[in-house]
Amino acid sequence: MISKTVTALTASETAARWPNTDSTRDSSDRLPVKDNLTRDAVVVVIEDDASVREALKELIESVGLKVRLYASARAFLDSHIPDTTSCLVLDVRLPEVSGIKMQEELSRAGAHVPIVFVTGHADVAMAVCAMKAGAVDFLTKPFRSQDLLDAVFAALERDSAHRKMQQWHSILREHYESLSKRERQVITRVAAGNLNKQIAGDLGLSEVTVKLHRANAMRKLHATTLAHLVRMLEHCDTTTAQDRQIQ
């Protein structure tokens, strides 16, 4: 049963919005997510009203997504953030720790979890504060099912993109750390726009040796062009104490 808090979509609206959804099929076969999301995506619902909690669960599961339910922010904080693509559907007014306070706690802890706020007691200042702090959306009860699902999918896509970027940074860092001291010295200067002759004079090497270190570094970093190398180094933290000492 859909709570009065959530205005249900009609069958035609659902079909138009998510054409892959088929209510006659098992939920595992009808996940209307884009290719960059996974079937392991989890939506965490934190809502103290049991009827609303169940209504949200029913709605979100109807499009094939997994749902975890919590009655308070503290209960969620005492558990763990799903180690997969995920987002929070978070009520603003909760016992002990409010939704806004929970957003602040997650931010201080460096936990990146996209949040969709839902509330029956909102004001403009509160909404502005939540959105400035990174919330995906701020919905006022009663809200339409379509609006909630749109916000959830936007949040999941944001988290998926963030996780992929983290993975890319991790791989890039591994590649960078595989470079020798001399290779790091050379590519740092290459990225700064120095010519091989200048680098050779700066480091007391021959141009042939500089070219060799440059080629080895680009191969290890999987950089295909100079522009590609520069972009990779911009995203890689190459300013550790060790790196500064070898430059």
Range(s) for CATH 3.40.50.2300 in the chain? 6-166
Q: Which residue has the tokens 């209960």?
A: 75
What pLDDT digit, counting tens, does each position of 204-216 carry? 999 999 999 999 9
How far is it, in rounded angstroms, from Cα 98 to Cα 92? Answer: 6
CA distance to 30, 102, 109, 112, per residue, from 83 (Å): 23, 19, 16, 11
Q: Is the model's pLDDT at 15 over the cut of 50?
A: no
CB atoms within 10 A of CB 212: 15
Rounded to whole angstroms, how far apart are CA atoms 37 and 155?
11
Give the residue ranges of DSSP H helices in 178-225: 181-191, 196-203, 207-221
Query: Average pLDDT in the 144-162 region?
Result: 94
Mind listing the pLDDT tens digit for each residue in 89-117? 999 988 888 998 999 999 898 888 999 99
Give domain 178-246's CATH architecture: Orthogonal Bundle (1.10)
Give start-end residues of each CATH 1.10.10.10 domain in the chain: 178-246
Of 40, 42, 66, 45, nearest in space to 55 by CA: 45
> In this structure, what DSSP letter does residue 10 have?
P
Banded model confidence at residue 37, pLDDT cuts 50, 70, 90:
low
pTM exceeding 0.75 = no
What are the angstrom distances between the C-alpha of 209 and each of 98, 194, 195, 196, 203?
A: 61, 15, 13, 9, 10
User: pLDDT: is 210 or 13 the higher one?
Assistant: 210
What CATH topology corresponds to 6-166?
Rossmann fold (3.40.50)
Residue 239, token pair as written in the block: 């300013």
Question: How many other CB atoms are found less than 10 A from the CB of residue 153?
Answer: 22
Most distant pair of Cα atoms in the chain: their distance: 77
Assigned token pair, 8: 């249900």
Per-residue DSSP letter, 131: H
List, for residues 223-234, the tens digit of each pLDDT value.
999 898 888 888
